[in-house]
Amino acid sequence: MQGHENLDKILMRDVKINLGKFKDKVKRFKEYLDDKLKEYEIENIKSNFGKFKGKVKEYGPVIAGYALLLSPYTRASLSIGSYLEGRLGGRRGIAAKYASILVGVGLTALVIGVAFGIHALPSHNEHIQYLGSQNGYEAFVPNGQTINYNGQTDPVGDLILNNGTTLHNVIWNGQYASTIINNHNQIVQLNNQFVGQTDPVNHQPYVPLQDFYVIKGQVPVEQATVNGQTYYIIEANKINPANIAGFYTYDKWVSNFVAAMNIQGTYAAVIPGNSPVYDWANVTGTLVYQTQLYEGHGVGGGRGVLIEPNGPIISYGVTHSPSGSALSNFTAPYKVYNPSS
């Protein structure tokens, strides 16, 4: 009799321990699901929740049947439950039996959910669109704001497409995110330091400069809702690093710069140190000196000019990173511009 009492205590203790473990696993699993669901659009969650409920109704009995037949947790809990029902008798026995079965089936369902449930959630790849032109140039223009997306601090800004269309509320997520934030902050600091002062060569005031990041070819983008706001997410890790390069120019010329890059016949050149362009009393002349000034403060190379076949000359600089090789004709031009020749 004493042996049976000890066994009863052991079994009941195991039931309590397993129930405690099960509650803990359910809690942790719920927290995990909460974190995962935040990665997806609210619209997608609503759409797929109905499908998920339908699948549960359709496959629930089958899954439960296999769980009961195959799971060692379930089979063990059934054995313990049957013993407890017979040993304790009455309502106590029935309660102990179902508590034991709950532990076994719950642990089995948890394993099945982890193994199969997460894969049923929508994939990012299903929602990615490729915007722009295969042979064109697009540009991300940070606006100084950042956002936490998927646990990463990302820059927010605009996306200028090759046809001139501009998308607002764009997040750059993936490679170079922190680099873009640092580059932009550096440009802003230099603007605060120098804008309002005068170019000592052409005697014109310095102008605010803006950094931007050109992608050669199409841009992989998906939409997501973050804090109730819909954003376009640039999936930068899906872009070949060779196709990304950073530039900076007069903030009002960024869209013109992107448009010029997409015009056939546009080319880039470098202004030599003795060029008369430095003396031009306009923004083009100012930027030749100002980008050289910013270069001296660590932003990247200056004194570049973009020359359209029948358009204006746009002065610009190049950031140290990113500097993809596919854009080397703009980041490291071999031509020298000399208006006197």
Do residues 106 and 22 lie in contact, with contact meaning Cβ atoms separated by under 8 Å?
Answer: yes
Tokens at 125, concatenated: 């790849």
Query: In tens digits, what is the pLDDT along the chain, a chain of 341 residues?
Result: 444 444 455 445 554 555 565 555 545 545 554 554 444 444 444 444 444 444 444 344 434 443 444 445 545 555 555 655 666 666 565 555 555 555 554 554 444 443 333 333 333 445 899 999 999 999 999 999 999 999 999 999 999 999 999 999 999 999 999 999 999 999 999 999 999 999 999 999 999 999 999 999 999 999 999 999 999 999 999 999 999 999 999 999 999 999 999 999 999 999 999 999 999 999 999 999 999 999 999 999 999 999 999 878 999 999 999 999 999 999 999 999 988 54
The string of pLDDT tens digits covering residues 25-60 is: 545 545 554 554 444 444 444 444 444 444 444 344
Tokens at 176, concatenated: 């170079």
Residue 125 CB coordination number (10 Å): 10
Closest CA to 14 of 90, 6, 27: 6
Whole-number Å distance between alpha carbons of 25 and 322: 44
Give, in order, the Cα–Cα distances in Å from 158 to each of 165, 254, 286, 325. Answer: 10, 11, 26, 24
3-state secondary structure 255-318: HHHHHHHCCCCCEEEECCCCCHHHHCCCHHHHHHHHHHHHHHCCCEEEEEEEECCCCCEEEEEE
Count the residues in the chain. 341
Residue 182 CB coordination number (10 Å): 14
Do residues 263 and 311 lie in contact, with contact meaning Cβ atoms separated by under 8 Å?
Answer: yes
* Residue 175: per-residue pLDDT: 98
Do residues 139 and 258 lie in contact, with contact meaning Cβ atoms separated by under 8 Å?
Answer: yes
* Residue 4: per-residue pLDDT: 45
Whole-number Å distance between alpha carbons of 167 and 135: 19
Query: Which residue in the block uniquely carries the two structure tokens 């029935």?
Result: 94
Do residues 324 and 216 lie in contact, with contact meaning Cβ atoms separated by under 8 Å?
Answer: yes
